[in-house]
Structure 1
């Protein structure tokens, strides 16, 4: 392995400038999900990113195919069974406050900036480029490799069922869309909407709640105008919903102000006090009788991410990531026992956890590659995140974030250090060689 690793390192050094230039070609496409069109089920920009990526893959000498306009792949080898890498080209919206052009690969002091550089264009393209390097090095591979590019991971992974309707899944592989070391298990996720009714008279004292709210992040800025004419604005700190402790949630900050607002109807003030008391900085379910944990995956994580005034009352949406040894049914029962009276609990997203055998030879092979390249402990781990491993059979998550790197994706000025991206390129290239060279 050391001989091939040295050859890979030399090839990366030689091709670094070309690698970054080609990555920028993909980064410049604002591939946020858009309106479905003919030939573009998830919008024209994700489809355009797919076309540009496959054009590059063809220029590298790979066979390519687009499956039902939703997923594309580049293939090296001719066997029906294959090792697969599953990444995605769609990205979340840029948001505000960037110091760099969001849809361009910028560099400053050794750090690369741009939407998707970490999640997930940079790592996914690194896998394709790593396969290019293996091809150019002409190293012997026993197995076919496919680099698969999805276009809807950020909005629920509705793309992969299109792929699986026509193509067999890989015999094994990974998605470069999480963290290191190898991730053998992903927690269960259930998103719920709590709809609490209020009278029309009470609701009239509260205006619409405005701000950037979505299931992927903790909201950082919310405003509401009261019937009295007073406008209330709160500023928090944005963070991914699977790492709420890194942010300041504008929902609970707003609830704190509203529960003390004299012009608000008393039932609403009482409700917002419950929201504050149950959720403010209680990221691990303490306020919902959900302080659950297990040895494999640690503590449950609970994150409110949307708060809206509706015709029938107040809607509060919450994401819950629960440990792998617990079941969704138990989580929902505990929620129903703690919510405000007459609140309807609606499940709006349900993703069962995954638990791949951590002593599988392929898992151990990836762990060995990681340890050899980094010198760090490669013991397999679990995650709070949700990746393509939940949808594509025989896939585990592997990188790109190293231990201690958390809360970077989905934020303004999304970044990845150049040295880390190049280290990922080395890890992924060596991983592909190791998995495909095994008989």
Structure 2
């Protein structure tokens, strides 16, 4: 159809726009004047505005928190919402994480799939509609956020100043259609330590992880011991038996133990290997001083370990719509006085916050662990008869020839923040999950197909 042909004509321009944005390191940074989420996200927002204006759209920057490109007339609008902020790049890249290099038909870089590539694909879908002069009855906004990876606070700010869309989608998850998103919690469990006892091995610190919603791929512990060689031999024997990737180096009177895992998104912790919990498991085998620190290490190993469903913590919730609760230990900051462990739990769409928090609090009382800094987003669920679901199903089937099955996910998207919105793409069924991982990429052919799907979806929602 006309839209697909127009997208093909815009292909090179679309790719160049994605590359321009990916080259900006837009990890959240320290807030500065006029830069509420730091310099990187602000630069990315300015870049998206510049691209949108060059394409002929009206734009508005809402105090460097969120911006949008708008087209059309009408009282109501359709909203397509994506984010320009990214998680830290981490290690293990084969191509520069902010190089936006093209290799074997793929654009590599942090944000290519999550979410700079997809939101630019939607923007060019709207370009195609504009250039073809297709009639619309509603305005269309491509909305660029900058705080999705750290709480989506900019959307609260946006909704305080703007009314929500009447219909919309966020290209920030999977195809065909995400009609259910698990309840999302991020919080700290905190333990203050009493007097430090003397022992063969004493923990100086344990530090690891970048963000709650990432499976940590690195963690290290400093162990004070008078028997450094024996400790290092113990680790070598442990590694051989457990087949895990850890190493030890001497540093003064301490041994630094380094644990290497595999990163994954916090919504699918089973796809990663948690470097923090791998390290905790080894430390729990040491002859530690009999104090609060040892008690906590043993508690974490026995009740969390390498589990990713929370069963041993009494929160092994499940439903047929969305599956198991997911349990991720994302960050640890453990020193001689205090331990702060940041957790990311996502509970099934038909369960409640109380179903999760009540048994968890009871379990934490066993060792006097306190919950602090609780962040909570309720589950999202649209039934199959909703007009938004029906229209997106129609578009997906027409453009791909595949059945548009409805799926539920553990990931928390902007759909939880923006009314009348669901997650729609960009990852196609069977494609590897590369978001939040080293060597994140987007396949150019699928980027273009996404743009075609988004163009048709925008038109169907706004015509």
- Specify if TM > 0.5: yes
Q: Equivalent residue for 2:251?
A: none
Deviations 1:240-280 (Å, cap 9, x if unpaired)? 11111111111211111111112544654443233223223
Q: What secondary structure sits across from 1:274 in the alignment?
A: helix
Aligned partner of 2:136 in structure 1 is 141
- Correspondence list, 1:35-434, <5 A: 35-202=30-197, 205-228=202-225, 229-265=254-290, 268-310=293-335, 312-339=337-364, 340-346=366-372, 348-405=374-431, 407-434=433-460
In 2: Cα distance, 1:99 partner to 1:190 partner: 33
Residues 76 and 331 of structure 1, relative CA distance in 2, 3 Å threshold: same
3-state SS of paired residue (1:200): coil
**Contact in 2 for aligned 1:68/1:163 (Cα 8 Å):** no
Q: Distance in 1 between matches of 2:431 and 2:206?
A: 33
Cα displacement (A) at 1:314: 2.6
Alpha-carbon distance in structure 1 between the residues aligned to 2:29 and 2:419:
27
Task: Write the distance in 2 (CA, Å) between the matches of 1:424 and 1:273.
Answer: 48
Tell me, yes or no, if the aligned pair for 2:182 and 2:347 is still in contact at 8 Å.
yes
Give me the whole-angstrom Cα distance separating, in 1, the residues matched to 2:361 and 2:432: 32
The Cα shift of 1:198 comes to 3.0
C-alpha deviation, 1:194, in angstroms: 2.1
> TM-score, normalized by length of structure 2?
0.89
CA–CA separation in structure 2 for the residues paired with 1:197 and 1:69: 39
Shift of 1:312: 4.1
Aligned length: 432
What SS class does the counterpart of residue 190 from structure 2 fall into?
A: strand
The 1-side partners of 2:424 and 2:204 are apart by 45
Query: CA shift at 1:203, angstroms?
Result: 9.2
TM-score, normalisation: structure 1: 0.93
1:258 and 1:269 in contact (8 A); partners too: no
CA contact (8 A) 2:209 2:332 kept: no
- 311-320 vs 25-34, which deviates more? 311-320
| Cα distance in 2, alignment partners of residues 429 and 330 from structure 1 | 40
Deviates more, 1:332-341 or 1:82-91: 332-341
Secondary structure of 2:281's partner?
helix
> Residue 326 of structure 1: SS of its match in structure 2?
coil
Change (3 A) 1:267 1:161: closer
Q: In the alignment, which residue of structure 2 is the partner of 1:14?
A: 9
| Cα distance in 2 for residues equivalent to 1:41 and 1:80 | 30
In structure 2, stretches of 5+ residues that fail to align are 226-253
Query: Structure 1: which 4+ aligned runs deviate by more than 4 Å?
Result: none
